């Protein structure tokens, strides 16, 4: 393994006793491929990772190396784990290259982590020193008293289920483990950092990023892979064909004047505010039509309204004259009345004491507006505007998608 600045520790030394299988869970077949192979396939798509350190049981090394050869893994080294998970992490930390600056620690039995979630948690760890993926708890949580009675209901609004990868500056995680008494048991690596009194940032994870622990989880895993395959095929079908017709439908980038006439309709929706959200876009150009939508696990209605406009304008490959229809006063007024430009000039302060919301999206939108001549037109929601209603339907359909995206800009 080449020495690198960002190293990923893949924890795969456990016995997986709860899986009730004679085969360790990291080697169980999932849709024709070992679980650990799925995990590595996902992680290897993250360009920021310079190398991998697989933490394994000594007796598994031959089988793991055979997988490495079969799958074509690169920049991989191995270290033998200990009795407890924290013993395994300690061993791995001691084996890190000296030049390592950032350490990702990921469960080998989490093969479905979205690449964008990994990239987001790396980015946050660079800023904060420590960051972990997390998702809001969906279920009602109750504390249990003696005799299996309910002691109390725990408010879930601030509760988060923690996932991996967890990412740390090397010196911070090493010092935290060095200070951890051998007798103290921790259930995740962030606990060692918290024990030092250091802040740990939460980054929105994904509900698909499950850990395969019990036999039932394998069935869920197969369903996730099947759904991802369907979504990939559907997305490919929606993409314009790479033909001369495409160049006519969605103009390619050229240094020309904004002469192409385009109509765009956008809408955003949210189930709960904040809550699950989605956006819908309809683009009309020279008799052609393109639709676009996506859903997010936790966001706000305003964010979806702005994001819809951004995604629509990003479809345009050269400067265009655009009539953009939206039923969002928040969006239309912020642009037509110059509010967003004023916020940016004032370092994103709406007043002397109040910062503007959704700064990340307004930055993108204002930059896109420099490329095109856009006329914003407000339309009344649910006023029998066919295209506006279609956008609303697309947005709401996206919310019902089981595999929702991470709105990185919402949770910091």
Whole-number pLDDT of residue 249: 41
Number of domains present in the structure of the chain:
2
Q: Are residues 192 and 255 in the same domain?
A: no
Q: Write out 172-187 in H/E/C secondary structure.
A: HHHHHHHHCCCCCCCC
The yes-or-no answer on residue 382 being catalytic is yes
Q: Are residues 49 and 189 in the same domain?
A: yes
User: Which residues 6+ apart lie within 8 Å of 377 measured at CB?
Assistant: 323, 324, 325, 326, 332
Residue 242 pLDDT class (50, 70, 90 cuts): very low
Whole-number pLDDT of residue 259: 67
Catalytic residue among 50, 119, 188, 327: 327
Q: The CATH number of the domain where 171 resides is what?
A: 3.90.550.10
Residue 235 pLDDT class (50, 70, 90 cuts): low
User: Which residues 6+ apart lie within 8 Å of 39 measured at CB?
Assistant: 10, 26, 106, 107, 108, 109, 110, 111
Query: What backbone torsions phi and psi does residue 54 show, to the nearest 5 degrees?
Result: -85, 125
Bridging pattern class, strands 373-378 and 320-326: parallel
Catalytic residue among 305, 387, 407, 408: 305
Instruction: Report the distance separating Cα 334 and Cα 356, nearest Å.
Output: 11
Q: Are residues 12 and 111 in the same domain?
A: yes
Q: The CATH number of the domain where 319 resides is what?
A: 3.30.420.10
Whole-number pLDDT of residue 266: 96
Catalytic residue among 14, 129, 268, 278: 268
Q: Are residues 373 and 324 in the same domain?
A: yes
User: Which residues 6+ apart lie within 8 Å of 389 measured at CB?
Assistant: 382
Q: Are residues 164 and 246 in the same domain?
A: no
Q: Are residues 208 and 316 in the same domain?
A: no
pLDDT over threshold 60, residue 251: no
Instruction: Record the tokens describing residue 189, joined without a space.
Output: 């690596």
Residues across the chain: 412
Q: Are residues 285 and 324 in the same domain?
A: yes
Residue 230 in any domain: the answer is: no
Whole-number pLDDT of residue 253: 39
* Percent of the chain residues topping a pLDDT of 70: 92
Bridging pattern class, strands 51-56 and 76-80: parallel
Residue 71 in any domain: the answer is: yes
Q: Are residues 179 and 302 in the same domain?
A: no
Q: Are residues 331 and 268 in the same domain?
A: yes
Residue 224 in any domain: the answer is: no
pLDDT over threshold 90, residue 404: no
Of 289, 288, 268, 272, the closest CA to residue 280 belongs to 268
Tell me if residue 374 falls in helix, strand or coil. strand
Q: Which is higher by pLDDT, 107 or 260?
A: 107
Q: Are residues 132 and 20 in the same domain?
A: yes
The yes-or-no answer on residue 333 being catalytic is no
Whole-number pLDDT of residue 300: 94
Residue 116 in any domain: the answer is: yes
Residue 380 in any domain: the answer is: yes
Q: Are residues 37 and 112 in the same domain?
A: yes
Residue 219 in any domain: the answer is: no
Of 290, 235, 175, the closest CA to residue 405 belongs to 235
SS3 content of the chain, % helix, strand, coil (to 5): 40, 25, 35
Whole-number pLDDT of residue 210: 94
Per the structure, the complete domain to which residue 390 belongs is given by 241-399
User: Of 172, 194, 213, which residue is a domain's last?
Assistant: 213
The pLDDT tens digits for 20-42 are 788 899 999 999 899 999 999 99
Residue 228 in any domain: the answer is: no
The yes-or-no answer on residue 268 being catalytic is yes
Residue 233 pLDDT class (50, 70, 90 cuts): confident
The yes-or-no answer on residue 267 being catalytic is yes
Establish whether the linkage from the previous residue to 358 is cis, with ω within 30° of 0. Answer: no
Cβ–Cβ contacts within 10 Å for residue 369, how many? 18
Residue 188 pLDDT class (50, 70, 90 cuts): very high
Residue 238 pLDDT class (50, 70, 90 cuts): low
**Element spanning 335, H or E:** helix 329-336
- Cβ atoms of 244 and 251 within 8 Å: the answer is no
Instruction: Report the distance separating Cα 134 and Cα 204, nearest Å.
Output: 5
Residue 3 pLDDT class (50, 70, 90 cuts): low
Residue 253 in any domain: the answer is: yes
pLDDT over threshold 90, residue 176: yes
The pLDDT tens digits for 281-302 are 999 998 889 999 999 999 999 9
pLDDT over threshold 80, residue 198: yes
Q: Are residues 208 and 302 in the same domain?
A: no
Catalytic residue among 267, 387, 407, 408: 267
């Amino acid at each position: 393994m080449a020495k690198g600045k960002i190293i990923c520790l893949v924890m795969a030394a456990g016995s997986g006793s709860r899986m009730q299988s004679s085969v360790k869970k990291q080697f169980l077949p999932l849709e024709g491929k070992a679980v650990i192979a799925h995990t590595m396939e996902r992680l290897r798509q993250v360009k920021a990772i310079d190398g991998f350190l697989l933490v394994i049981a000594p007796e598994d090394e031959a089988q793991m190396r055979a997988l490495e050869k079969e799958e074509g893994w690169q920049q991989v080294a191995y270290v033998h784990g200990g009795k407890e998970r924290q013993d395994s992490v300690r061993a791995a930390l001691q084996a890190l290259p000296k030049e390592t600056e950032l350490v990702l620690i990921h469960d080998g039995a989490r093969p479905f982590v979205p690449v964008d979630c990994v990239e987001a948690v790396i980015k946050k760890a660079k800023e904060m020193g420590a960051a972990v993926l997390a998702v809001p708890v969906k279920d009602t949580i109750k504390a249990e008293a003696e005799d299996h009675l309910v002691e109390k209901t725990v408010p879930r609004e601030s509760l988060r289920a923690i996932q991996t990868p967890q990412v740390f500056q090397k010196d911070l995680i090493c010092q935290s483990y060095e200070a951890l008494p051998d007798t103290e048991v921790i259930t995740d690596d962030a606990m060692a950092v918290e024990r030092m009194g250091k802040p740990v940032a939460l980054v929105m994870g994904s509900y698909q990023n499950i850990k395969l622990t019990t036999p039932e989880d394998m069935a869920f895993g197969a369903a996730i892979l099947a759904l991802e395959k369907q979504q990939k095929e559907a997305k490919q079908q929606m993409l314009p064909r790479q033909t001369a017709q495409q160049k006519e439908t969605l103009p390619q980038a050229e240094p020309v004047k904004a002469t192409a006439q385009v109509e765009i309709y956008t809408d955003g929706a949210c189930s709960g505010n904040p809550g699950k959200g989605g956006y819908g876009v309809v683009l009309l150009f020279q008799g052609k039509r393109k639709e676009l939508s996506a859903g997010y696990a936790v966001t706000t209605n305003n964010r979806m309204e702005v994001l819809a406009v951004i995604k629509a304008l990003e479809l345009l490959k050269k400067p265009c004259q655009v009539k953009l229809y939206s039923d969002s006063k928040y969006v239309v007024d912020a642009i037509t009345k110059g509010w967003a430009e004023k916020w940016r000039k004032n370092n994103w302060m709406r007043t002397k004491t109040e910062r503007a919301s959704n700064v990340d999206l307004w930055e993108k939108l204002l930059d896109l507006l420099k490329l095109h001549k856009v006329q914003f037109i407000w339309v009344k929601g649910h006023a029998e505007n066919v295209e506006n209603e279609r956008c609303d339907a697309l947005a709401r359909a996206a919310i019902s998608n089981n595999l929702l995206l991470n709105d990185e800009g919402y949770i910091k």
